[in-house]
Structure 1
Amino acid sequence: MAQRRVYQVNNVSALFESGTVIEFPHDAPAGSIVTHVVDGRPVRVLLTDTPLSGGRYAAEFVDCYL
């Protein structure tokens, strides 16, 4: 089982208000696509091994239902 990590989604201003930060913990390994709900909308993101500051890891949008 993968280690629990905190992920931060990059480039959220295209779909959400400026200044919105999407962070969430997850146990799935890097390379997984997971669904996370943001403002009542399901967002699918790709978890990566790319480290960010503060011990977080990057996640990238796959798709978002508007």
Structure 2
Amino acid sequence: MFPVADTLSGVCSTLGATAAIGLFTLARTRLRSRRTAPSTANTAPVEPPRRLRHYTLLRTIGPDGSPVHYTTTRPPGSVITHPIDGRPLDFELTDFPLGDGTYAAEPL
């Protein structure tokens, strides 16, 4: 009787069915991702990757008269022991960059 009304009802039912299938797929995907996601409550904090750094040991002079350098992957704030003139001395590694591209290691 009314061809436009019949066509319009067919289009509406097709759009409704497509929306229902899309919502079902979205809900299933979200539930599946929640189920397989690892729990972060029991995991240890991730340590950032370590970088090789060159340090200048402050207030030290090597046999050739230049400052003593130390290379390590330890993070800033670590304490190292380095022998100077046959005696072990402790140095704290810092984040303070020096002009020559190295970082400062302060004596304790």
- Identity value in percent: 38
Which runs of 5 or more structure 2 residues have no equivalent in the other structure?
A: 1-48
* 1:39 alignment partner in structure 2: 85
Deviating 4+ runs (over 4 angstroms): none
**The one of 63, 67, 74 aligned to 1:28:** 74
Aligned length: 59
* 2:21 alignment partner in structure 1: none
User: How many Å separate the matches in 1 of 2:60 and 2:84?
Assistant: 11
Q: What is the SS of the residue equivalent to 1:25?
A: strand
Q: Which protein is richer in helix relative to its size?
A: 2
Q: Which protein is richer in strand relative to its size?
A: 1
Shift of residue 20, structure 1, vs aligned partner: 5.2
* 1:5 alignment partner in structure 2: 53
Across the aligned residues of Structure 1 and Structure 2, the Cα RMSD in angstroms comes to 2.2
Equivalent position amino acid for 2:55 in 1: Y
Choose between structure 1 and 2 for higher RCO, CA contacts under 8 A separated by at least 6 residues: 1
User: How many Å separate the matches in 2 of 1:53 and 1:60?
Assistant: 16
Which runs of 5 or more structure 1 residues have no equivalent in the other structure?
A: none
Alignment TM-score, normalising by the size of structure 1: 0.71
